[in-house]
Amino acid sequence: MSGRPGAITYVSVSGVQLMGVQVDTQSVLTFIGGYVATGISVFLLYSPFVVLFLLLLLVGGVLQLIAWPFSVLIRRLRRGRGNAEYDSSWLLH
């Protein structure tokens, strides 16, 4: 390990002292494993909200598909009347 300020310290198999802490390959792999475990646990923590959001999107789409024929029927019934000056079909869009 170099004593110069700003010198780059490389981690080797034998390990080095980094700010008074022994850092070797096992320590680095342990830290990487901790970050991966944290990422997975945060994803699992918020996965019910993601599933609920997707379920709400699907339910909204199904409701739109169910309401679509009724919307078309109401538009056709309202356009069948003879008053062409006053068209309130924009309310149904």
Domain ranges in the chain?
16-81+88-92
Per-residue model confidence (pLDDT) at position 86: 61
- CB proximity list for 27: less than 8 A, separation 6 or greater: 15
Residues 78, 89 contacting (CB under 8 angstroms): yes
Residue type at 37 in one-letter notation: A
Per-residue model confidence (pLDDT) at position 79: 80
Per-residue model confidence (pLDDT) at position 66: 95
Buried b or exposed e, range 51-69, using 16+ CB within 10 angstroms: eeeeeeeeeeeeeeeeeee
Q: Is the pTM of this model over 0.75?
A: no
Per-residue model confidence (pLDDT) at position 75: 86
Residue type at 20 in one-letter notation: G
Rounded-to-integer distance, Cα 50 and Cα 56, Å: 10
Residues of the chain scoring pLDDT < 50: 1
Per-residue model confidence (pLDDT) at position 89: 66
Rounded-to-integer distance, Cα 24 and Cα 55, Å: 46
